[in-house]
Structure 1
């Protein structure tokens, strides 16, 4: 079979707009087969996160091992991990994996609240970042990681938190810099943009694209999904993941 497989290791969003739900919808749109390992369960909607329930690290590790043993992925996307022992468990399972790994460091909530404790940030930096093919921080997350952590590391700096009418994602890849400007869309329905972008990059890589092309296609897909957002909920609503992937 030529069907490509992509694994998401992420949290569950009960509102369906972000987390592994957004990842699996994105994989479906790109025509790849999505598998998942749940790291934490959230009670959330478009208005915010009410509760977070991290899974035992052994349960997270067992899910990853099960998928790797029978449905080996062509790319992996990592999202919310929650705490240090889950990060360490994920890193241990992926240490021998040799496929592209896209790490979306879910560290700061949309409202600015930290989502990882200092020991979890340290574990992320020490154990997981060295395994990542590409790390995709937004501006607050890049500030939390620090310039020293990102220096010399392949990363995509997402510009969605920037100002002005043109936003710019900047890819630092193999010693080169690629800039991806996009017009700002004035909408409150932006929930899950980061999850969707990173999972779209993983899907593109699984399908054989080079990194700059995968990023460009992912950004264009997110722009389409934003423009077609269904307007659900009373807060930051979800995207429309069913839009056509740009050719």
Structure 2
């Protein structure tokens, strides 16, 4: 009499294990690719935020200029902007002020982390931008187009009308100006649009301000204590009066 033995053969066990291995591999690949896509999506959102903040700053900073070039102007007073890469992979915008042709002050308006996206392992490809390009409509309705390299090798120089005018004045003209006893008109305390310092932007409730940004408000200068938007300079928690 034959014994009826039931069970799995070796071939069946090998096929089942192979099938389980394929399922695990495909599931992990789908999960890994989805996770990377999600991370790059977040990075792109942060990059857009960095891009918007940088664009708003450049508009405020360059809107009233009369000189813009990669070469230093003939005037003695001017400014420069460049982007440098930090050791931790982030980028910083550096603003330098020149007084009488000499460096007077270095300022870092802000640091951004996601302006340049890089691909990881070739799985998710993101565009890598080595140059930040911008177009600004100036106050005189002309269009300014420029770019800043992210490796710090490209530096732009600019100057305001008063910088060009002061540098071109002769000593005689300056002496005549000093001997003029006419008292200058004082800015109205009630009119926040009065701006005696043309190189300092007026406060705008729609702009985003970063720490150490300086604005004019009702004829006075205020410096931001921390990043804010829509907070009036009279708010001592976000601004301090410097003049």
Higher normalized contact order (CA 8 Å, seq sep 6+, divided by chain length): 1
TM-score band, normalised by shorter chain: under 0.3
Q: Which has the larger radius of gyration?
A: 2
More helix by share: 1
- Normalized against structure 1, the TM-score is what? 0.22
